[in-house]
Chain A
Amino acid sequence: MTATRVDPELLSELKEYGDGQVETCFNCGNCTAICPFTSAEYPFPRNMIRLVQIGGAEKLKQSIDPWLCYYCGDCSQTCPRGAEPGEVMMSLRRWLTAQYDFTGLAKKFYTSKVWEIGAMVVVGVLVVVIALLLSGPVVTDQVELNTFAPVEIVHVADWIMAGMLVFFIAINVFRMWKYIMVDGMDRKVPFSLYITEAWQIVLHLFTQKRWAQCEEDKEKKNWNWIAHLLMVSGYGLMLVIIIFFLKWFQTDEIYPVWHPQRWLGYYATIVLIFGAGRSIIGRIKKNVQMHRFSHASDWIFPVLLLLVALTGIMMHTTRYLGLPLVTYYTYIIHLAFVAPMLILEVPFGKWAHLYYRPLAIYFEQVRAKAKAMPVAETQLASAD
């Protein structure tokens, strides 16, 4: 047994990550018993709240539990102390994102609005400057976007951006893996399990099917899950198009309406606006548990998504209307929203949950399989 280090500052630190009222909790266990996702292995949220109360930062870092919660809010709604366990779990997801991140940027962004918005602005301005520096001749007779912003150059920029993302994400995911699967395990996990369970990542990345089991969401015909899934399909599609098929997508040739290039684009834009708009309206109305408290990061992400989609539509419209200058400028503004969203939100912001959540479920499965194995086998595995 190793000693457990206690972090007396943890409770006050977590206050910066959300509105949970950890200190009012008297550990009655109502939240854990009402939670539809709690299990023998992961009896959350109370175990997490307890860890916050006793300053168990090390143990929290090794926990999967916060990623297994979907904030249906049953716990917050029924908590006899108003401790907001659901919000504590949300804060812990933000906190964990900051812990996994080796650059320290995630922590800065989550604990300071100035930092997060400032970074967005800096990246946005940089993109504008670079775009203006690298832009080609401005043709005003007709819309020639690919003359103004040659698709080859934009594509290269995309790949550089993607490379940066992969770099940051890979290191952060490695740290997450180390905390959960090495520090948080009492035995070594055979490598083969990682391979045989890998399909879990794909499954949960594309379906988020665990969320659909939320009791509260089931009552509402799973609309939260469906809206989220649609939004995921929208940006997923856009990401694939931008990284792999930009030449086909960013073109001055106008395709007929039935062409997949057009309706795929329309689909993605509509679901993005629907999803992000729904989230923003929900946060204004505070009509569901998960929208009652909004951290700065909860606003920035959907607002950026919405702005990206809206500037995309605007560009599309002005191009069809044959307004060259407006199209070019809108394009630059569009880029100024897209770039910070991808470069900052994906590795350091709210968007990071896109890979942390499926990975956490994957780790949970691998862990369960490893624990079910006879001890001798896992030790043998550790020998080679």
Chain B
Amino acid sequence: MNNVKVDALVIGGGIAGMQAALDLGDQGYQVALVEKEPSIGGKMITLSKVFPTLDCCSCITTPKMSAVAHHPNIQMFTYCEVESVDQQENGFDVSVLQKPRYVNADTCTGCRLCEYACPITVPSSFDRGLGSYRTARVPFSTAVPQIAVLDIENCILCGKCEKVCPVGAIDFTQQPETFSIDTTSIVLATGFELTDLDAKNEYGAGELPNVIDPLMMERFLAPTGPYGRVLRPGDGMEPMTIAYVQCAGSRDETLGIEYCSRTCCMYAIKQSMLISGALPLAEVTIYYMDIRTFGKGYEQFYQNAKAMGVEFVRGKVAKITEDENHNPVVRVERTEEGDVVERTFDLVVLSLGMVAGDPLSKFGLTPAEDGYIKIPSVNASPCETRRPGIFVTGTAGGPMDIVDSIVTASAAASAASAYIRSKTQVGIEEREVAHV
């Protein structure tokens, strides 16, 4: 593969990475965007609605995905992973591994005939294991790029996809390829991972079928979700009583995560509202230690949920067990009443926290105590890392919600832009400005 030369390399194609790439591209810089999954979109494309406006997530994310794909100044590299970052005199030499799709990306039209022909069905990681997809597939309906990928781990090499492909794009002989990107600056948008569902033994250690994580609930609530409605995974029953366990993965020394993940209060409240729409008769109870609704319009959002009848109970859930019908049983001290209660629910959602996504060593960066990229002066320059020319945005730098991710994406793009100019002495006027 040919070497690529750009002004900025954005690593991570979630909402923060896409926004940073778009902001830089719009300023006329040449941008490369590297995404480890077969499609850009990140976690946000899997979500249902955004808080506090309850706008549709897809309606915000898909236009940005398309904009990235069609931007004349942005080159998109999906299904690629950064292997190493070497400091050069005036920038970085980044080695990138292109993972084999076993599909020729240049000829594939995204017609999905391979997907329809493929006989092997596996749990869908896009639907967090709740739904399923084929081994040969376009990752999801709004994936960008619309190029099939063949999951060779589960493939039985039956060759049906190869037979039906009208353009002969299936290629079982593809090998991983390494190429390098020469760039002046880097924007890290590597995102977050949820804390583990099985981290706490007191919460059933991931063994309870009707105790789920919040991204699973997002899939239940999303219009593109696997069932188009909310049901519980244990037996497919429609849950009539649902509990949210706040701080299930944050503010907990026993997990080594003492920080607040900042999003859980709001997503739990948002989901409780959406559940009220999806299951009008369902009762939702949110167990919390503190409700932290600090953003613009957030407190009103919380008050609205209360007014809608969502029950808020102060107390950290100490234990979740289950009865003989796999109904989760929540044990908690209601600290405002001062009594310990056990209550049975149909479904429990653990409001898990955020931890840093990608390992940082390959970027030559060391994590801060919280595991996220260290930002030496977070107040003065919130997007600068310890290495000049490498900037950070979104949840790669610490837990934050979509609003803040987009804000820091534009901030990182701006900081990167200034840096590129100082290094290359190239101003926007000397360049061909893309009109998009």
Contacts and interface: CB of A to CB of B under 8 A. Distances in A.
A29 B335 contact: yes
Contact of A79 (B254, B289, B331): B254
Interface string B300-321: 0000000000000011111100
A79 B200 CA distance: 12
A156 B309 CA distance: 75
Nearest to B290: A26
Contacts, number: 63
B338 A33 contact: no
Given A28-B315, A28-B316, A78 B254 contact: yes
A78 B318 contact: yes
B55 interface: no
Interface string B166-180: 000000000000000
Contacts of A80: 247, 251-254, 316
Contacts of B252: 80
Contacts of B289: 26, 28
A38 interface: yes
Contact of A47 (B314, B316, B319, B338): B338
A229 to B, nearest CB: 28
Interface in A2-39: 26-34, 38
Contacts of A247: none
A31 B333 CA distance: 9
A33 B247 contact: no
A270 B331 CA distance: 43
Given A29-B316, A29-B332, A78 B202 contact: yes
A81 interface: yes
Given A33-B333, A40-B339, A79 B253 contact: yes
A29 B202 contact: no
A43 interface: yes
Nearest to B336: A29
B340 interface: yes
A60 to B, nearest CB: 16
Given A43-B338, A46-B333, A78-B202, A30 B253 contact: no
Interface in B331-372: 331-335, 338-340
Most chain-B Cβ atoms within 10 A of its Cβ — which of A30, A32, A40?
A: A30
Contacts of B290: 26
Interface string A136-168: 000000000000000000000000000000000
A33 B254 contact: no
Nearest to A39: B340
A26 B315 CA distance: 10
A29 B254 contact: no
A31 B317 CA distance: 10
Interface string A248-280: 000000000000000000000000000000000
A47 B316 CA distance: 15
A82 interface: yes
B201 to A, nearest CB: 9
A43 B339 contact: yes
B334 A29 contact: yes
A82 B333 CA distance: 18
A317 interface: no
Interface in B234-256: 247, 251-254
A32 B253 contact: no
B114 to A, nearest CB: 49
A32 B252 CA distance: 16
Interface in A41-55: 43, 46-47
A68 B198 CA distance: 32
B316 A82 contact: no
Nearest to A26: B289
A78 B251 CA distance: 12
A38 B340 CA distance: 8
Contacts of B317: 30, 33
A77 interface: yes
Most chain-B Cβ atoms within 10 A of its Cβ — which of A28, A31, A81?
A: A28
A110 to B, nearest CB: 28
A40 B339 CA distance: 6
B319 A34 contact: yes
A80 B200 CA distance: 11
B369 to A, nearest CB: 15
Contacts of B253: 79-82
A52 B43 CA distance: 45
Contacts of B251: 80
Contacts of B331: 33-34
A28 B253 CA distance: 13
A78 B318 CA distance: 8
A180 B315 CA distance: 29
B247 A29 contact: no
Contacts of B316: 28-30, 33, 80
A46 B254 CA distance: 18
A27 B317 CA distance: 12
B111 to A, nearest CB: 52
B333 A43 contact: yes
A134 to B, nearest CB: 58
A226 to B, nearest CB: 25
Contacts of B339: 40, 43
Nearest to B317: A33
B249 to A, nearest CB: 11
Most chain-B Cβ atoms within 10 A of its Cβ — which of A33, A38, A77?
A: A33
Interface string B237-277: 00000000001000111100000000000000000000000
Interface string A308-332: 0000000000000000000000000
A53 to B, nearest CB: 13
B245 to A, nearest CB: 11
A77 B254 contact: yes
B224 to A, nearest CB: 35
A81 B317 CA distance: 14
A77 B338 CA distance: 21
Contacts of A78: 202, 254, 318
Going nearest first, the 6 A-B pairs with the smallest beta carbon separation are A29-B333, A33-B318, A28-B316, A34-B318, A80-B252, A32-B333
10 contacts: A28-B289, A29-B316, A30-B316, A30-B317, A32-B318, A33-B340, A46-B335, A47-B338, A79-B254, A80-B252
Interface of B: 202, 247, 251-254, 289-290, 314-319, 331-335, 338-340
Interface of A: 26-34, 38, 40, 43, 46-47, 77-82
Given A30-B333, A33-B331, A33-B333, 7 more contacts: A29-B316, A29-B333, A33-B317, A33-B318, A38-B340, A79-B254, A80-B247
